A and B are shown apart, each in its own frame.
Chain A
């Protein structure tokens, strides 16, 4: 898959004051039947969007590109459709104090930047966005920081992932460069390991 480079993004935020937002909430299973990578925005937070008070339905947050969520975002099912739904809807960044492992991996593979900030910073960010939904927020990978108003908060991201995102590199292409190592490994794999083919009679 071709990935866009991510160096810096500036946009407005949307506060999702909920913890434990599992991937079934991000996109319910009935929306997973498509065989493409696009069009999943209709399923994003589908159950909650029927409520006019739900934050995504509020006019002031319609053009937000940075989702600021509660702790344990993306738990549960491994469906990468959750990342695609967020991206298809227009989100570039999700900020939370803790992400589930599989969701985080999926997001960083697909170029949706997931940023971990302490819960106290999340609370401050929520309050600032609610006070001024037009407030501009910048998420910068070069300096690994989130900035808004006079605030500048650093976040951690391993150098390898950061480099890959900033270069827009495809993981498979990188591994393909090392196929020699894979071949060497395969030469010494134990014979007793099972094979799925040929089909048993």
Chain B
């Protein structure tokens, strides 16, 4: 379990992380989402004691990282996969790490097998592809068999097979009761992998929810209703607090779930022909949340409709 308590990190006048508080629970995969520059890596660096918070504190299993007695057995991390000595072989790279944590040498071969690098154990790291660096970084994180694992953008540079592999690995590690914290700017990835989602933008937490809650709350989640008495139903639903738009006898309802709409219609004996809940994708929900909070805006107007969110929302509500 990781606890972030009211953490702020400033670099000169730039606020990288702004009064951030959350906890990461064991037994599930927690996705840490946000656009590039949102403060994800800075937050993870503070969890690992690499950077000190300007104010607030971070604890891992109740300890500040720097005072953990056996850090490699308690926390494993993949931050910068390319952070390796080019002249070392994969095996040598893991050997100095194992030595630092007092970890027996046979564990090196075990983790190399887990990440599928056994055949290139004697190859120099400088000759590795980005995908191989990622696998080596994951092997390094797993060396001490830790209960808490942090991965910063682990799917970077992996091929589809590698992405599938890491997804299964993360779920398996979580099912063993470990705390798994994975950052990504790729929503689609988290949708498949994470159980719980934390979204930050400009260093602030803007969502802390399960994947289901997160997509449900999104404005682009709606219920499609078809009824011969559409006008009457629209009035009824609006009266009950929902937002309704109407087109050719088909209603798009937001702010109310399908079961409540069905119940209200039944009460008033309104005939329904269709009642369909349309869940937003995580991608759409994320775009909606971070819109207007991005640090760097594209100057090209986004009219291409390449996201599922076709109704840009100006909501600033924090779920």
Please determine whether chains A and B interact with each other in the same assembly.
no
Identify the B interface with A (CB < 8 A). Answer: none
Identify the A interface with B (CB < 8 A). Answer: none
